[in-house]
Homo-oligomer: A and B are copies of this chain.
Amino acid sequence: MRQADQRPTIAILGAGLIGVGWAALFQHHGADVRVWDPESEALVALPARLKAPLAQLAQVAPDAGPAGRLTVCDTLAEAVAGAALIQENAPESIAVKHALYGEVEPLMDTDAILASSTSALTWSDLSPGLNDPARLITAHPFNPPHLVPLVEIYGPDDARVARAEAIYRFAGRVPVRLKKDATGHIANRLASALWREAVFMVQDGIADVEAIDAALVNGPGLRWSVLGAHMAYHLGGGAGGMEGYLAHLGPSQERRWAALGAPTLGEDVQAALVAGVAREAAGRDIAQLEAIRDAALIAALKARKEAPNV
């Protein structure tokens, strides 16, 4: 059983898509959650918007124990006071986030963690202006944040990063640590590199959008859901593992890298991408596709077994 004193107090700043996901996640796992948003409409809508992710979490993590308390806060001070972790989900603007941090820092506990969900910005972009930059970490979830386990973390203060990791693990997340900050963290760098080649194949006429997506989902994507890219080459090297792979096939891999494409998102390619996903969607709108995706993610998560990288 979890003890009451193991329940962290979490401030969620910003009640958009990502903030709502975080709020549901932490509440489901028993944290004391306080949500603030500068737009009062977002706070009014919050209880209704929490219903779907909370219902999904009940399927994915039915053994999480009693849910925590969720407080909708009218003021930033009310949300931040006494919070161990302050998860910031403001728009992706350095100016907006800097202004917010200027308000948050005087209100937060000395050893609290200010964690930015930023996707596009880095710790180096965001830390200037803080009196104590060590208070800030980047902690990027992968959409949808209450279902996909990954949280990518960078911060210069090892003790704070370790405390943050413990809190994310409490909420069923898999924290992964960067050694230095990088645009796109880890996952979006991988996604961007893969999509570049996916777009190139459309541009070059190698395959249609729907063929590329079907190949990914039924091939490497499925395998990458249980096995990392490095580990896959370790197992692809026969008895020699990664060492054997690099010795025998390293040079051919370097040649293959050199032959990969560098597409540009010109009008023709954009039109092909839009038409391709429209064929895939087959009349299903975004909300319908998201619901199907979420049900499939929930089934995949419930089925998860020990795996080389799980």
- Determine which of B211, B292, B300 lies in contact with A177 in the assembled complex, contact meaning CB atoms within 8 Å: B211
A199-231 interface bits toward B, Cβ cutoff 8 Å, 1 = contact, 0 = none: 001101111111111111111111111111111
Q: Knowing A206-B182, A224-B224, say if A217 contacts B177 (CB, 8 Å).
A: no
Q: Is A242 an interface residue (CB 8 A)?
A: yes
CB distance from A181 to the nearest CB of B (A): 8
Q: Is the CB of B217 within 8 A of A309?
A: yes
CB distance from A60 to the nearest CB of B (A): 12
Interface majority SS (helix, strand, loop, mixed), chain A = helix
Q: Is the CB of A215 within 8 A of B297?
A: no
CB distance from A49 to the nearest CB of B (A): 15
Q: Is the CB of B193 within 8 A of A206?
A: no
Q: Is the CB of B193 within 8 A of A215?
A: no
Chain A interface residue count, CB cutoff 8 Å, equals 111
Cα–Cα distance between A196 and B120 once the two chains are bound (Å): 21
CB distance from A110 to the nearest CB of B (A): 29
Q: Please, which residues of chain B bring their CB within 8 A of the CB of A309? A: 210, 213-214, 216-217, 280
Cα–Cα distance between A265 and B188 once the two chains are bound (Å): 22
Q: Is the CB of A225 within 8 A of B229?
A: no
Q: Is A67 an interface residue (CB 8 A)?
A: no
Q: Is the CB of B256 within 8 A of A183?
A: yes
CB distance from A32 to the nearest CB of B (A): 26
19 A-B pairs with C-beta separation under 8 A? A177-B207, A179-B207, A186-B211, A186-B215, A190-B198, A191-B232, A202-B230, A212-B228, A214-B309, A216-B309, A217-B309, A222-B225, A227-B293, A227-B296, A230-B273, A241-B286, A292-B306, A300-B300, A303-B303
